[in-house]
Amino acid sequence: MVTIYRATVLDTPGDLPTADGLRVSEDCGLVVKDGTITFRDDFPAVRAAFPDEQVVDLRGGVLLPGFVDTHVHYPQVRVVGGLGRPLLDWLRECALPEELALSDPVYARGVARDFLAGLVHAGTTTALVFGSHFPDAVDALFAEAETVGLRITAGLVVSDRLLAPGLHTTPATALREGKALVDRWHGRGRLRYAVSPRFSLSASDAMLESCAALMETAPDLWFTSHLNENLDEIEHVRRLFPSAENYLSTYGRHGLVTGRSVLAHDVHPSAAELEMLAGAGAAVAHCPSSNSALGSGLFPLRAHLDAGVRVALGTDVGAGTGFSLLKEGLQAYFVQQLLDGGVALTPAHLLHLATRSGALALGLGDQVGDLSVGRQFDAVRLHPQPGSTLDVALRHPKDATDALAKIFTLGTPADIDVVRVAGQVVTAPAQLSLDGSLSPMETR
């Protein structure tokens, strides 16, 4: 079936974030067939070419590509807001107790729904998700994500030391359970599997070797972990791996740093690590609100870009402060403003980082990230409440770049009214009550 969407469309189709990469189509017609954009032009030209097709009129707001979150923790949706602690204290006091609670599959299913609702409300259509330490909880995430229809890459989080005994596993069990999850979910619809050691602080060489073995069990598996987030963490890793050249090589010497790797944070990289990331084609998930909330540091974006490292954005919920990629864009901008030698980010940079950069980092650049012909129609409409400050601002922009600046400055999930994946409207799952049942008024 063919549908024409009429909207003001802003996107950034280039391969790199640039100051002048914004594409503006004030009155755009997008022809969508079976979820794919097959034709794009000014609306009058589209209407002339397709005089009889149904038109969905999305004017009155702004249509953007669906947001791409390259680093977000599913088990942590209920612990957002644990402010006032550095990384290792925050993990011990806020994150890990909650992650243990996901050993209960009923509890995990409720958390999975809350998590996916957070993504949908924020307009995130594609995400690389840090999963749970418990296979049943990872099943719950994939099953619920399949129902909702989002593009999710996720996996079993594995560790064998220094967290909490209930979160530890063995390399052999990790491999066996990971393989079963890969068999069940990798490549099923919009779902893919990411091998996910928590960080090398909590993963021995034997565990990282089992991750490497899991990577070999199916084509196109993804790899994700944490890197160089906090100075104490980095010092611990240095002591735990005395023979490793640096933090990145704790993964790299097991063959885990490739073009299908996404490393989160990298706030304190060495030149050698940047060179190795660039050479491998690995991507870094920059998580600015988390970095500020935990006091991890100011992300050296210029050093990454100068070295040729691909960078995208992650919300890092729950150390991050919410699911909004608009907020992460603004926070990324703030950080670069504060840094001596920071990159002068423009609205076009921010939109690219929140959409196209993420799609490319996740190897999905041929499918999503902008609204060009050939892409899936993954899109969000921003339509602020009448009278809200964003509504007022969008009525008086100087130009489209100014409008986009206002969107990143003022926009929140409350301003996103419709989210589509492959043309289909996606809706947030209903919340579950504590015993896992839907409340009497709720249906799916």
Point out which residues bind ligand XAN (CB under 6 A). 73, 87, 91, 95, 198-199, 226, 229, 290, 316, 319
**Per-residue contact track with Zn ion, 190 to 219, x per CB under 5 A?**
------------------------------
Give which of Zn ion, ligand XAN, none residue 10 binds (C-beta under 5 to 8 Å, depending on kind): none
Place of tokens 């391969």: 15
Q: Give the shortest CB-199-to-ligand XAN separation in angstroms.
A: 4
- Cα separation, 373 vs 69, whole angstroms: 23
- Cα separation, 162 vs 168, whole angstroms: 8
Contact (Cβ atoms closer than 8 angstroms) between residue 255 and residue 209: no
Distances (CA, A) of 95 to 5, 18, 196, 201: 42, 36, 17, 16
Cβ-based nearer residue to ligand XAN, 313 or 393: 313
Cβ-based nearer residue to ligand XAN, 263 or 277: 263
- Cα separation, 342 vs 307, whole angstroms: 15
CB neighbours of residue 57 within 10 Å = 10
Q: Give the shortest CB-333-to-Zn ion separation in angstroms.
A: 21
- Cα separation, 411 vs 123, whole angstroms: 11
Cβ-based nearer residue to Zn ion, 76 or 355: 76
Contact (Cβ atoms closer than 8 angstroms) between residue 295 and residue 267: no
Give which of Zn ion, ligand XAN, none residue 198 binds (C-beta under 5 to 8 Å, depending on kind): ligand XAN
Question: ∠ CA 148-151-157 to the nearest 5 degrees?
Answer: 100
- Cα separation, 87 vs 293, whole angstroms: 9
Q: Give the shortest CB-73-to-ligand XAN separation in angstroms.
A: 5
- Cα separation, 271 vs 128, whole angstroms: 26
**Residue numbers 252-281 binding Zn ion by CB under 5 A:** 264
Q: Give the shortest CB-434-to-ligand XAN separation in angstroms.
A: 24
Cβ-based nearer residue to ligand XAN, 40 or 226: 226
Give which of Zn ion, ligand XAN, none residue 229 binds (C-beta under 5 to 8 Å, depending on kind): ligand XAN
Give which of Zn ion, ligand XAN, none residue 247 binds (C-beta under 5 to 8 Å, depending on kind): none
Cβ-based nearer residue to ligand XAN, 210 or 315: 315
Give which of Zn ion, ligand XAN, none residue 95 binds (C-beta under 5 to 8 Å, depending on kind): ligand XAN
Q: Give the shortest CB-341-to-ligand XAN separation in angstroms.
A: 25
Cβ-based nearer residue to ligand XAN, 73 or 113: 73
Helix or strand holding residue 423 (H, E): none
- Cα separation, 258 vs 194, whole angstroms: 13
Q: Is the peptide bond before 318 cis (omega within 30 degrees of 0)?
A: yes
**Per-residue contact track with Zn ion, 300 to 329, x per CB under 5 A?**
----------------x-------------
Contact (Cβ atoms closer than 8 angstroms) between residue 287 and residue 321: no
Q: Give the shortest CB-319-to-ligand XAN separation in angstroms.
A: 4
Contact (Cβ atoms closer than 8 angstroms) between residue 425 and residue 418: yes
Footprint of Zn ion (CB under 5 A): 264, 316
